[in-house]
Amino acid sequence: MPQGPSSTLEIPETGLIPKHIAIIMDGNGRWARNRFMPRMAGHQQGVETVRGVIKACIERNVAYLTLFAFSSENWRRPAEEISFLMQLFTGALEQEITKLHENGIRFKVIGDISKFEPKIIEFIQSGEQLTAQNTRLTFTIAANYGGRWDIMQAMRKMMAQSSEVPLNFEEENLAQYLSLSYAPEPDLFIRTGGECRISNFLLWQLAYTELYFTNTLWPDFNEHELELAIQSYQQRERRFGRTSEQLQMALSAEG
């Protein structure tokens, strides 16, 4: 079952530090182009940024970090770039899983991994198994992932549990089959690179997530940039359908 309530069914607990941060890592290619470097150099630098963001999240007691690495639509990119991304993904898995485990980080991958090469699938499965009991941070990579795919695969799994198509199912019946069902809904969504859209990422889970867009390109997204995003989050009123007056009354009651 999902770790935490559905924001459309009940009001979740919130705090000054987001429990779950989800990020679209955009701008690797432009970062490289601005430096007269091949796009691949931007992707390589982006991996270094991931390491820094993981460290910064742990220092701030963020419990879940989900990164959008490769969408189901990214297969439309040039074959040469896709090949490089797969090599980079394989290398990162091979090099980083042990380090994640040593630092108490649980590693997860969401998405349709069946399209990946057997070696990548093996690294993913072994990495998830190795780190399954870690609790310091749950680090999730969305790879060959799409929000619509996620909802569709959840629907198929739910229907497969019954010999007949369920006619009167509720939200919680479907939610348990979503790829990210082990995590609470994201508190904070960040997209780097200046684009202001969610690009088929976590369509179900972002229902009441606070959205933050920055012009900073992903390779330049550092601890300071993360802190700016969290500061913006801390200035939001998370009403979940209520009025500001209701929110203030609830906060006063808690105090």
Q: Which residues participate in catalysis according to the annotation? A: 26, 74
What is the C-alpha to C-alpha distance for residues 56 and 255, in angstroms, rounded to an integer? 29
Angle subtended by helix axes 79-102 and 39-59, to nearest 10? 30
* CA separation, residue 75 to residues 22, 72, 81, 145, 148 (Å): 22, 6, 10, 11, 16
**Run of H or E including 155:** helix 147-160
Helix (H, G, I), strand (E, B) or coil at 114: helix
Residue 162 DSSP label: S
Strand (E) positions, 61-101?
64-71
Handedness of CA 194, 191, 80, 87 (dihedral sign): positive
**Total residue count of the chain as it appears in this document:** 255
* CA separation, residue 167 to residues 157, 162, 173 (Å): 15, 11, 12
Token pair of 37, please?
């470097």
CA 251-252-254 angle, to 5 degrees, is 65
What is the C-alpha to C-alpha distance for residues 215 and 211, in angstroms, rounded to an integer? 14
CB of 66 within 8 A of CB of 22?
yes
Beta bridge partners of residue 110, listed in sequence order: 142
